[in-house]
Amino acid sequence: MLSKLKIEGIIKVESGLHIGDSGEFAAIGAVDSPVIKDPLTNLPIIPGSSLKGKIRTLLAKTYNNDSIGSKKAINNDDPRIKRLFGATPKDENEPIIIGRLIFRDSILSNAKELEQLGAENYTEIKFENTIDRFTAVAKPRQIERVIRGSKFNFEIIYDVGNEKEVEEDIQLVKTGFKLLENDYLGGSGSRGYGKVKFENLSIKPVLGDYDVKELNAILEG
C-alpha cells in the first residue's frame, strides 16, 4: 500500500540569509543582489530546491567514498543518498532513480512577530566591498538579506518505498539537518551569512496508515 509521510518544522534564521533572485539587471540605485520573494505577498522565501541541494551536497561530502573536494557525479552518490534524492544515470541501460523526498518552498511565517520586535522590514541591505587584489580598487555592492530571527515553516514529503529502510532514511534526513546547522544556507557563508537552526521537527502520515512513533523519536533525538 502506498504511504506518504510529512516531515515538518521551522527553519530559524540565526544570521542574515541571502538566497538570490535574478541579478541580471539592476536599476541605478537599486539593490545589486536581492533575495528571492513570493510574488503574491512579497515575503522572502526559501526555495525547496535550495534546501534540497544544500542538504544533498553535505550528505555527499559525508558519505561518498571519495575526497570531500572532488566533483564526483551525483549518479555515483552513496546509494542511500540516491534513493532519497534521485539520480539520472548517463547510461541508457540504467534505470532512472526517483527520489523519495519532495521539498516544498518555505515562506516567511513570523512576520507579525518580527514587527513586534521592532523590525521595520523583513530584509536588510548589507553594504560590502570587494577589493581587486591587483589594482586595490574597491567595488561596492548592496546585498539584500533576510533578517536574523526570521522563521520559515518547511515541509518535506517522504514516499515510503521500502519499510525496512524507513528508519535509516529518516535518520539520514536528520543527519542532513544537523550538517546544515553546522554549515550555511544560501550564499556568502564564509562571511557569516546563512546560519540556520531546525526547530519543532515532527513527522506524520498523510497517506496510508503508518506508525511514526519511532520516527519522531529519531527527529527529536
CB 217 within 8 A of CB 171: no
Task: Decide if 143 is inside a domain.
Answer: no
Average pLDDT, 10 consecutive residues per value, the chain (221 residues): 91 95 47 83 95 95 69 73 88 82 96 94 82 59 91 97 94 98 94 96 94 95 82
The number of folded domains in the chain is 1
Task: Decide if 214 is inside a domain.
Answer: yes
The interaxial angle of helices 166-181 and 213-220, nearest 10 deg, is 20
Specify burial of residue 117 (Cβ count, 10 A radius: 0-12, 13-18, 19+): exposed
Task: Decide if 127 is inside a domain.
Answer: no
The model's pTM: 0.86
Task: Decide if 144 is inside a domain.
Answer: no
Q: Check residue 6 and give its pLDDT.
A: 98
Q: Check residue 68 and give its pLDDT.
A: 46
Task: Decide if 31 is inside a domain.
Answer: no
Task: List Cβ neighbours of 210 (8 Å cut-off, separation of 6 or more).
Answer: 3, 5, 160
Q: Check residue 39 and give its pLDDT.
A: 92
Q: Specify the residue for cell string 566591498.
A: 129
Task: List Cβ neighbours of 177 (8 Å cut-off, separation of 6 or more).
Answer: 55, 198, 201
Task: Decide if 32 is inside a domain.
Answer: no
How far is the first Cα of the chain from the last one, in angstroms, to the nearest whole number? Answer: 29
- Domain span holding position 90: 4-21+37-118+149-220
Instruction: Give the DSSP per-residue string, the chain.
Output: ---EEEEEEEEEESS-B--B---S---TTS-SBPBPB-TTT--BEE-HHHHHHHHHHHHHHHHSSS-TT----GGGS-HHHHHHH-B--SSTTSPPBPPSEEEPPEEB--HHHHHHTT-S-SEEEEEEEEE-TTT--EEEEEEEEEPTT-EEEEEEEEE-S-GGGHHHHHHHHHHHHHHHHTS-SSS-GGGT---EEEEEEEEEEEES----HHHHHHHH-
Task: Decide if 132 is inside a domain.
Answer: no
Task: Decide if 180 is inside a domain.
Answer: yes
How far is it, in rounded angstroms, from Cα 11 to Cα 14? Answer: 9
